[in-house]
Amino acid sequence: MTGGVVFAGVLMLCNGVLAVLQGIAAIADDDNVYGGVGDYVYRIGLTGWGWIHLVIGVCVALTGAGVLRGADWARYVGILFASLSLVAQFLFLPYAPVWSVIMIAIDLFVIWALAMYRPGTGRVAEF
């Protein structure tokens, strides 16, 4: 594996753990951690967002571990879960804007690194 894919796997593992913690914070004590947003287009409460982040976080962390082990399936599933994480963070922007933008950037790098890797050569694909 190249450095980009290894780094993407580590980022997925960390991103997943942080999303789990973000989800637990939203489920357990949502009023003290996240402020109220008011009238938001997506009518999901903070507890709902917490469960979404918790489930996606567990999936991303497990897939990141698969990427680090070099599993072929993990690259494709990693792109899927990083995309879902990106969308969830985008929809969560009003609750944690700076953190969501950082996580979106990390998800974009993970998608790029996993999509550009060619496993037979150990190199990234060229445009």
At residue 55, the pLDDT reads 95
Q: Which amino acid is at 53?
A: H
120: part of which helix (H) or strand (E)?
Answer: none
More confident residue, 27 or 1: 27
Tally of domains within the chain? 1
Domain that residue 109 falls in:
3-30+41-116
pLDDT in tens, 3-27: 788 899 999 999 999 999 988 988 8
Whether the pLDDT of residue 74 is over 60: the answer is yes
Residue 50: per-residue pLDDT? 87
CA 36 to chain centre: 23
Let me know if residue 121 belongs to a domain.
no
Band of residue 77 on the pLDDT scale cut at 50, 70, 90: very high
Structure confidence by residue, pLDDT tens digits, 14-66? 999 999 998 898 888 656 666 666 666 667 777 888 899 999 999 999 999 99
Q: What's the CA gap between 127 and 123, in Å, rounded? A: 13
In a domain, 36, yes or no: no
Under the banding of pLDDT at 50, 70 and 90, the label for residue 110 is very high
Please indicate, yes or no, if residue 125 is contained in any of the structural domains: no
Q: Is residue 35 part of a domain?
A: no
Residue 122 included in any domain = no
The alpha helices in the chain, defined as continuous H runs, are: 3-28, 30-33, 46-69, 72-91, 97-116
Q: What per-residue confidence (pLDDT) applies to 127?
A: 45
- Indicate whether 126 belongs to any domain: no
**Residue 123 belongs to some domain of the structure:** no
Domain contains 94: yes
